Amino acid sequence: MFWWKPRSWNRPVNLTSYVMITKEEVKKVAKLARLGLTEKEIVKYQKELSAILGYFEKLKEIDVSGVEPMSHSVRVENVMRVDVASEKRKAKSAQLTELMPETKNGYLKVKSILNGH
């Protein structure tokens, strides 16, 4: 019997009622992650991954009816500003454009620094 106790809970979760991950599945995940595992490590990760999935199975049993879904524990809103160029910035941009030897449609032409072109 394998018991796992999350730190934040007072009662342990019995994982024997949940399906264990097979050794082949652990090997497949290890191969995808390009990890070389010993047989001892495969057994260890089989138990640990099964415990994690068992924890999620336990969470499925919680009644969340009436609880509003959320994506963050604290309500967060982006503070946006109006995206408008100020007259001061427009004047500065015009000054810089006039100083450039070559421009086209408001863009500045500069020497290439990549590939030696």
> Domain extents for the chain?
3-60
Q: What is the pLDDT of residues 21-77, one digit of tens each?
A: 999 999 999 999 999 999 999 999 999 999 998 888 888 888 988 888 887 778 788
Q: What is the pLDDT of residue 23?
A: 95
Residue type for 97, please? Answer: T
Mean pLDDT, all residues of the chain: 82
Q: What angle do CA 28, 16, 38 make, to 5 degrees?
A: 35
Checking if the pLDDT of 18 tops 70, the result is: no
Q: How confident is the model at residue 97 (pLDDT cuts 50, 70, 90)?
A: confident
Q: Render the burial of 6-21: b for 16+ CB within 10 Å, e for the rest.
A: eeeeeeebebeebebb
Q: What is the C-alpha to C-alpha distance for residues 44 and 105, in angstroms, rounded to an integer?
A: 64
Q: What is the C-alpha to C-alpha distance for residues 49 and 66, in angstroms, rounded to an integer?
A: 31
106 phi and psi angles, rounded to 5 deg:
85, -5
Global pTM exceeds 0.85: no
